[in-house]
Amino acid sequence: MRIVVGHLYPDYLNIYADRGNIAVLSRRAAWRGHELEVRSVSVGDALEPGEHDLLYIGGGQDREQALVAQDLLAKAGGVRETVAAGAALLAVCGGYQLLGRSYRDLHGADLPGIGVFPFDTVAGDTRMIGDVLLECELEPGVHRTLAGFENHAGRTHLDADAEPLGRVVAGFGNDGESGREGCRVGRALGTYLHGPLLPRNPWLADWLLTQALAHRHGGVPELEPLADELEAEAHAVSARRAATRGGGRR
């Protein structure tokens, strides 16, 4: 089966090796006999609803975010319609911030968001850095942990009724206070966790692939299990670092 991925601004938003998430998705799809077709969608490119099964946008610094913000605003309708039609989405760090309603940087400049996620972000004076461990429940009654690395000054404040990606076990999360990290709207996920995220959390990669396949072909497929011993070890190392780090939320 073919899965079409729209990679937004790979030439701008590619900090902290977040493009490695695409490599993980591609390899895990290929191991199961599926083809991942990755299409770059950058400045000036059209994004038509219905073309993609999964959208991906990575992280960047304030400069890169400012360079793409207005172009992303022009694509807002296409992104929102794609998500509303059931495509999956993963937004990381700087890309995550731009998919909220607004982002105010450290110098007071306001960047428009496109409103996929119900939150606003304001940059703080200090950065929140270190390993993070979350508890997630993307499927009812199924609790899993998500391990990653955060490095952001933005304080992201979700609406009261918004659904986070996960609850913070160790680390800072969205704002260092609420105990919530990331955001979820249906099959769309946003998070500050990068480094990249998916190599140490293969279950999340498979969840995204499953949702993308469901969008393309209907129904929710059962993916064949893979031997993930190395991935599990990477997850465990990151989780241990998060649990023993100084500062942050406990």
Residues marked active site are found at: 93, 194
User: Residue 205: how many CB atoms within 10 A of its CB?
Assistant: 23
Radius of gyration in angstroms for the set of CA atoms belonging to the chain, rounded to a whole number:
17
Lookup: tokens for 152:
């952001």
- Tell me if 110 sits within 8 A of 155, measured CB to CB: no
Lookup: tokens for 173:
């999360």
- Alpha-carbon gap, residue 105 to 223, rounded angstroms: 41
- Alpha-carbon gap, residue 180 to 24, rounded angstroms: 26
E strands, 11-93, in order = 35-41, 54-57, 88-92
